[in-house]
Every structure is written in C-alpha cells, then in structure tokens.
Amino acid sequence: MIGFLRIVGVLNAAVWFGAAIFYNFLIAPLFSNTEILSALGWSYSGWVAQFAMAKYFQLSLWCAGIALLHLVAECVYLGRPLSRFHLFLLAGLLCATLVGGFWLQPYLNKLHITRYHKSSTPQMSQTAARQFAAWNGVTQFLDYLSLAGIMIYLWQVTGLNQQTRFGSKFRS
C-alpha cells in the first residue's frame, strides 16, 4: 500500500506539473500568435482560449483535490503527522485554482463577450478590452505562481529533498 500511495502522489504531481507547463508555455501563448489570429480572428481565438483555460482550471482542481486526499491518506495510513508546509502549500494551490476557475475565468469570459458582442458600443468594447488585459495579466501571474508551487510540491512528493541513507557528509 505504501508503494501505491507513493505512485499515486508522484503521478498526480507529475500530471499537474506537466499540464501547468503545457498550458502556460504552449497553449496560452498560442492564441496570441499572429498566424492563429489571422486565421481565427481575435474574437474566435479568444473564445477558444477561454475554453482551454476552463479545461486547464478543471484539471488543476482535480489534481489539487487528489493531492489533498493523498496527503490525508499518507497521514492516516502511514501514521505520519500532517505536514503544515504541505498542507498550506496545497491549500494555497487549491485556493488559487478556485479563484482562477470560478471567479477570474468566468469574469474574463464575460469581458470577452462584452468586447466582441454586436450590441456593444465602442466605449463598452474599449473598456472591456482594457479590463480584460488587466485581469488576464492577473490570471497569468496567478498561473505562474501556481506553477512554482506545483514544482515545489512535485519536489516534495518525489522525495528529492530528503537526505541519503548514510547522511550528506562523505567519510573517507
């Protein structure tokens, strides 16, 4: 059972980290690429980007939930005390995912619709475009901050921070 818990924890952290890397460095910048914009236009490119962002936040929410369950399962099954660092790290990542998925992403979607809707006045479109740019920057900052936290979590789960069996000093 110990091996199974370790595999689940490492696999979940690896999927979460890989998805964060893939989304932040490959998918998100793709929709502001000039070739994509010329093929789809700003409005359709933005709608596809909003859909990809929603799916990314869903995956992050699942991974954060599995990570919290894994932490509790390790504490219960192995009899380890609950690590405050891990708990606060995972709680912070879960909060960032909840804020991004249930508040920022729908708000960005609303601003995008306002910006490109046929009944929007030019003033409404300009205001929505400015607000969208600002809140999109907040979302990107939150994504990169979460990426750093996920990387720390992956480092902790894999056990790469632990000392070797014989200690860290070399004896001759």
Q: What is the pTM of this model?
A: 0.83
| pLDDT value at residue 17 | 97
CA–CA separation, 128 and 157 (whole Å): 42
Q: Token pair 């004896």 is at which residue? A: 171
Neighbouring residues of 126: CB distance < 8 A, sequence distance ≥ 6: none
What's 162's DSSP letter?
S
CA–CA separation, 100 and 105 (whole Å): 6
| pLDDT value at residue 164 | 46
Q: At what angle do helices 34-78 and 2-22 cross, to 10 degrees?
A: 160
Tens-digit pLDDT string for the chain (172 aa): 778 888 999 999 999 999 999 999 999 888 888 888 788 887 788 888 889 999 999 999 999 999 999 999 988 888 888 889 999 999 999 999 999 999 999 999 999 888 888 888 999 999 999 999 999 999 999 999 999 999 999 999 998 666 544 444 555 5
What are the φ/ψ torsions at residue 11 (nearest 5 degrees)?
-65, -45
What b-and-e string marks burial along 58-74, b requiring 16 or more CB atoms within 10 Å of the CB?
ebbbebbebbbebbeeb
What radius of gyration, in Å, describes the C-alpha atoms of the chain?
20
